[in-house]
Amino acid sequence: MIDFKTDSFQPGLSVDCVIFGFHNNELKVLLLKMKNLDFWALPGGFVGKDHGVDEEANRVLESRTGLTDIFLRQFYLFGNVGRTSTEHLDSLEAQGLISSDNVSWFRKRFITVGYYALVEYSKVKQPTVDDISERCDWCSINELPEMMHDHLDILKKAHETLKKELNYQPIGINLLPQEFTMPELQALYETILEKPLDRRNFRRKMLGYEILINTDKRRTGVAHKSPNLYKFDVKKYQKAIQGGLSQSW
């Protein structure tokens, strides 16, 4: 049950985090299933009066994933009138998941700051639930359950933003293992963009960005010819994030 002193939080303001991971050539997002209810939610929370909005978003990420110092970006402000579903609030109240003292707080109008985070799937050992959720699971963005309020819209906007940013920024250092093959990197891009990419053109572009280091090692135990393993040149990768890339997808 949520029961807290509402006067310690900034009225009408919250954060919601879309936490992306990549596994088995699928883009996944971390979602919370509400206790005894059939809908899910993005990890999020309210903003303390004595805390910054970015600080609260980082707290949400750490509490769910156990990870710190991960890629986090604010991408949109959601403030439509009526964005909070009264039906979902009724269900939470009926299940006793919201304290009677806090019901009026939840029924006020809230605007929420949307963030997206990129994490390496394998590093999130045990996603963590909270007082009103019973599961915290990775879900494929192609097979999403019913979500509360406007959380599906927030998720879709985050994915749309991620696809656009691929046109001028590198991606992968937060989603792939330290060493990876070119086909694995291409699979990541194709999954996010939701379209196939030409193998030769992809390889040419990625090597042209000069952000990859050939480790001179090969992936073993695969059916076909053992592909080279690469890793990111962290300094050049960060420079590319700051300065942008010259070619779009």
We report the CATH number of the domain holding residue 209 as 1.10.10.10
User: Taking Cα atoms as reference points, which of 118, 142, 89 lies closest to residue 19?
Assistant: 118
pLDDT by residue for the chain (249 residues), tens digit each?
A: 565 677 888 989 999 999 999 998 899 999 999 888 899 999 998 999 999 999 999 998 888 888 887 889 999 999 998 888 888 888 888 887 777 777 888 888 899 999 999 988 888 877 878 778 889 999 999 999 999 999 999 999 999 999 998 888 898 998 999 999 999 999 999 999 999 999 999 999 999 999 999 999 987 766 667 789 999 999 999 998 888 887 777
Task: Give the whole-angstrom CA distance, residue 56 versus residue 73.
Answer: 13
H-run or E-run covering 17: strand 9-23
CB 111 within 8 A of CB 77: yes
101, 203: one domain: no
Query: Is residue 213 in a domain?
Result: yes
136, 200: one domain: no
H-run or E-run covering 184: helix 182-193
Predicted confidence at residue 224, as pLDDT, reads: 64
Predicted confidence at residue 1, as pLDDT, reads: 58
DSSP letters, 122-159, are GG--S----TTEEEEEEEETTS---BSTTHHHHHHHHH
Tokens coding 140: 């494929």
Predicted confidence at residue 52, as pLDDT, reads: 94
Predicted confidence at residue 50, as pLDDT, reads: 92
55, 131: one domain: yes
Confidence (pTM): 0.87
Predicted confidence at residue 2, as pLDDT, reads: 61
Q: Percent of the chain, pLDDT > 90? A: 53
Can you give the residue range of the structural domain that contains 145? Answer: 6-165
| Domain harbouring 61, CATH code | 3.90.79.10
Place of tokens 């060493």: 179
149, 120: one domain: yes
220, 128: one domain: no
Predicted confidence at residue 108, as pLDDT, reads: 86
11, 60: one domain: yes
139, 25: one domain: yes
132, 80: one domain: yes
Last residue of one domain, picked from the residues 132, 165, 198: 165
Residue 241: φ, ψ to 5°? -65, -40
Per-residue pLDDT reduced to its tens digit, 61-78: 888 888 887 889 999 999
Residue 146, Ramachandran bin (φ over 0: left; ψ between -120 and 50: alpha; else beta): beta
112, 37: one domain: yes
Predicted confidence at residue 220, as pLDDT, reads: 75
